[in-house]
C-alpha cells in the first residue's frame, strides 16, 4: 500500500482496487456496523477532562496545603506558682462545704470540713479563745481567766481537761491565788523591815552625835578632876554617862544588823517565790502550747484549707454528707499569677533547626489528642551549654492550658508530653519536588 505526502503535509495512502474491495467488505460486516453505530458512554467521552481536572485539583491542593518540618522531643510540664491540690487526710463524711466552683479564696480559708467526733463549731470557738490567751501571755500578761467549759470536743476532750487542770494550778500563783497573796505579805514584811532599818539608822546617827557631845563633856570633867575641882563621885557619874551612851549605840548597831539579816531573808524568800511563779507560768504556757498543737493537728486532719490564694477548681462533684476516702482529691487552687512551662532537651542532630520563637505542639499521653487536641506553645529559651541529654530548652504555654479543641487541661507537676517543634512550614508541593530533587541527586 503506497504512502505519499502532499504539499500541505498530509499523508495520502494510495489503495489498490483489491484493498478498496476488502475495505468495503469489512465495512459491510455486522460487527463493524454495530461498533460504528453504538454511541460512546459519558465516562469514555468525559474521561480525559475529568482526569485532567483531578490532576489540576491535586496540584492546587498540594500548593495550598502546608506540611511543616518538625522536630520531635519529649517534654515535661512545670510551672511557676503552680496550682495547689487539696486532698483529704482522713476518711468519712463531708459535713461542710462552704465554697463553690470558681470561688476566689484567700490563703487558709476553709474549703471543707470532714466528719469527726468533735463539734466543729465548738472546736473553732475554743481555738479562737486559745489563740487570744496565747497572745496575751506572749505580750507579758499574767491574768488568766477561767477556761470555758466546753463539750463535744471528741478526741480533744481529754487534752483539754489536762489544760484546765494546769490552769487551775497556775491560778494559785496569780493575783487572786495563794502564792500571790504570800508574795504580797512578803513584800509588806520587807517594807516594814526596810522602814525599821531606816529608823534605826537615823537613831544610830543621832546616838552617835549624842555620844560625841557626852565624850566632850567627859573630857572637861577629866580636866576638872585632875585640878581637884570636882569630887570622885561626880567624875564617876560623868564617866557612867559616856559608857551608857556607848552601850546604847552598840545595841542600836546590833538591832540594825538583825534587821538587815531579816530583810535579806525576806528578799531571798521573795526571790524563791517569784522563781516558783515563773516556773509555774512556764509549765502552764507549755501545757497551753501543747493543747494548741493538738488543735492544729485536729484542724490539719479534719479541716481542709486553701494552701494559697486563688480560684477553686473542683476535680469531682461534691456535696455535703458525701463519703470520701483518705487521700482523695477535692479541688485545685489556681493562683492568679501562675505561669506554665514545658522543659525539654534538644538532641544535637536537630539542634541547628531549632530557634527561639518557634511554635511547639504538645500532645499529652494523659489527654489523648483525638479527644483533647494539642497544646500550642513557643520556645523562649535554649541553653548554650550542652548536657548528656542535649540542649535544655523552655517552652512557654498559655495561662489557661487550653488546647485547640477549647478544652482546658488540669495542671499536674511533671506531666509528660510529645512535643513537635515546627521548624519550617512548607507547602506539600514544595516537599514533593524537594523529594524528587533528592532522588535525582541521589
Residue 5 has pLDDT above 80, yes or no: no
Label residue 292 by pLDDT band (50, 70, 90).
very high
CA 223, 224, 226, 231 dihedral sign is negative
Which of 342, 431, 437 lies closest to 70 in space, CA to CA? 431
* pLDDT score, position 394: 95
Cβ 313 vs Cβ 83: under 8 Å: yes
Cβ 170 vs Cβ 281: under 8 Å: yes
Label residue 434 by pLDDT band (50, 70, 90).
low
What 3-state class would DSSP assign to 225? helix
Round the CA-based radius of gyration of the chain to a whole number and report it.
55
* CA 344 to centroid of chain Cα atoms: 26
* pLDDT score, position 3: 47
* pLDDT score, position 428: 67
Cβ 423 vs Cβ 95: under 8 Å: no
The larger pLDDT score, comparing residue 69 to residue 334, is at 334
Cβ 306 vs Cβ 105: under 8 Å: yes
* pLDDT score, position 258: 81
Residue 15 has pLDDT above 60, yes or no: no
- Rounded to whole angstroms, the Cα distance separating 314 from 337 reads 19
- Rounded to whole angstroms, the Cα distance separating 16 from 2 reads 9
Averaged pLDDT score across all residues of the chain: 81
Q: List, for residues 355-383, the tens digit of each pLDDT value.
A: 999 999 999 988 998 899 999 999 999 99
Which of 276, 266, 267, 264 lies closest to 177 in space, CA to CA? 276
Q: List, for residues 41-67, the tens digit of each pLDDT value.
A: 666 666 677 777 787 787 777 667 666
CATH code 1.20.1270 for 115-301: yes
Sequence ranges of the domains in the chain: 68-80+337-440, 115-301
* pLDDT score, position 9: 47
Across the range 412-427, mean pLDDT stands at 84
* pLDDT score, position 220: 77
CATH code 2.40.30.170 for 68-80+337-440: yes
- Rounded to whole angstroms, the Cα distance separating 215 from 238 reads 9
DSSP 41: P
Burial class (CB in 10 A: 0-12, 13-18, 19+), 23: exposed
The larger pLDDT score, comparing residue 340 to residue 440, is at 340
Label residue 417 by pLDDT band (50, 70, 90).
very high
Amino acid at each position: 500500500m503506497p504512502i505519499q505526502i502532499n504539499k500541505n503535509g498530509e499523508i495520502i495512502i494510495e489503495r489498490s482496487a483489491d484493498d478498496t474491495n476488502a475495505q468495503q467488505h469489512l465495512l459491510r460486516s455486522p460487527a463493524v456496523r454495530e461498533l460504528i453505530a453504538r454511541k460512546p458512554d459519558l465516562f469514555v467521552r468525559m474521561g480525559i477532562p475529568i482526569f485532567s481536572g483531578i490532576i489540576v485539583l491535586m496540584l492546587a491542593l498540594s500548593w495550598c496545603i502546608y506540611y511543616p518540618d518538625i522536630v520531635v522531643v519529649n517534654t515535661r510540664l512545670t510551672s511557676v506558682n503552680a496550682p495547689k491540690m487539696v486532698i483529704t487526710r482522713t476518711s468519712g463524711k463531708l459535713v461542710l462545704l462552704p465554697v463553690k466552683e470558681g470561688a476566689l479564696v484567700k490563703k487558709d480559708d476553709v474549703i471543707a470540713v470532714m466528719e469527726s467526733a468533735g463539734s466543729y463549731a465548738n472546736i473553732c470557738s475554743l481555738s479562737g479563745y486559745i489563740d487570744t490567751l496565747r497572745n496575751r501571755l506572749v505580750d507579758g500578761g499574767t491574768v488568766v481567766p477561767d477556761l470555758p467549759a466546753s463539750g463535744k470536743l471528741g478526741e480533744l476532750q481529754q487534752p483539754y481537761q489536762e489544760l484546765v487542770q494546769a490552769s487551775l494550778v497556775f491560778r494559785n500563783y496569780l493575783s487572786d491565788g495563794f502564792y500571790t497573796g504570800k508574795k504580797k505579805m512578803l513584800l509588806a514584811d520587807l517594807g516594814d523591815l526596810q522602814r525599821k532599818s531606816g529608823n534605826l539608822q537615823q537613831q544610830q546617827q543621832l546616838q552617835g552625835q549624842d555620844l560625841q557631845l557626852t565624850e566632850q563633856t567627859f573630857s572637861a570633867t577629866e580636866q576638872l578632876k585632875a585640878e581637884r575641882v570636882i569630887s570622885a563621885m561626880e567624875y564617876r557619874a560623868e564617866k557612867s554617862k559616856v559608857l551608857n551612851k556607848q552601850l546604847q549605840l552598840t545595841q542600836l548597831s546590833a538591832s540594825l544588823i538583825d534587821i538587815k539579816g531579816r530583810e535579806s531573808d525576806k528578799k531571798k524568800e521573795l526571790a524563791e517565790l517569784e522563781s516558783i511563779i515563773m516556773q509555774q507560768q512556764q509549765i502552764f504556757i507549755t501545757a497551753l502550747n501543747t493543747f494548741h498543737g493538738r488543735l492544729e493537728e485536729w484542724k490539719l486532719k479534719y479541716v481542709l484549707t486553701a494552701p494559697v490564694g486563688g480560684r477553686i477548681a473542683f476535680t469531682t462533684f461534691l456535696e455535703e454528707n458525701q463519703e470520701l476516702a483518705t487521700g482523695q482529691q477535692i479541688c485545685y487552687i489556681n493562683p492568679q499569677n501562675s505561669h506554665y512551662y514545658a522543659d525539654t532537651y534538644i538532641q544535637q542532630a536537630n539542634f541547628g533547626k531549632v530557634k527561639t520563637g518557634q511554635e511547639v505542639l504538645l500532645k499529652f499521653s494523659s489527654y489523648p489528642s483525638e479527644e483533647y487536641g494539642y497544646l500550642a506553645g513557643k520556645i523562649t529559651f535554649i541553653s548554650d551549654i550542652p548536657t548528656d541529654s542535649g540542649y535544655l530548652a523552655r517552652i512557654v504555654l498559655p495561662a489557661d492550658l487550653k488546647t485547640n479543641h477549647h478544652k482546658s487541661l488540669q495542671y499536674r507537676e511533671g506531666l509528660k508530653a510529645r512535643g513537635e517543634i515546627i521548624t519550617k512550614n512548607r507547602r506539600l508541593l514544595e516537599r514533593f519536588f524537594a523529594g524528587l530533587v533528592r532522588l535525582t541527586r541521589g
